[in-house]
Amino acid sequence: MYISKIYWLDIGTGEAIVRVTDGNYELECYMSNCNYKVGDCVKTDIEVLGVEKVELTSEKNQVKYSSMENGSLIVGNLQEMGRLKIGELFINIGVENIPKDLHKGEDVIVKISRLDIW
């Protein structure tokens, strides 16, 4: 995934809202100490702050919405170790947030308060 846009909140401290994309899907993430430029590749998973729900769905990959104001509602495929895959984007939603009746390979809808890049 790579950075498609940077909205600086405080350029002195590196605080920014960044848009990351795989070319098909785009997510808005918070970042402190941002040293990326538009076009740079991000090699780490996207992290979360506040998972509000994780539910099984028959829908396939999509970003229903992603913003700092409203959070994100994402449909993706559940991977190992609490990872969610949407296209080529990986989000670490945390094993502790996944209901025990959901399994690797299932499609889920996830409501997230904030996405972060560390």
Structural domain spans, the chain: 2-116
Is the pLDDT assigned to residue 63 strictly greater than 90?
A: no
pTM (2 d.p.) = 0.91
From the list 102, 97, 79, 40, the residue with the least C-alpha distance to 18 is 40
Calpha distance 77→79 (Å, rounded): 6
Question: Is the Cβ–Cβ distance between 4 and 38 less than 8 Å?
Answer: yes
Calpha distance 82→78 (Å, rounded): 7
Is the pLDDT assigned to residue 68 strictly greater than 90?
A: no
Q: What digits encode the pLDDT tens for the residues 99-111?
A: 999 999 999 999 9
Is the pLDDT assigned to residue 16 strictly greater than 90?
A: yes
Tell me what pLDDT residue 104 has.
95
62 pLDDT tier (thresholds 50, 70, 90): confident
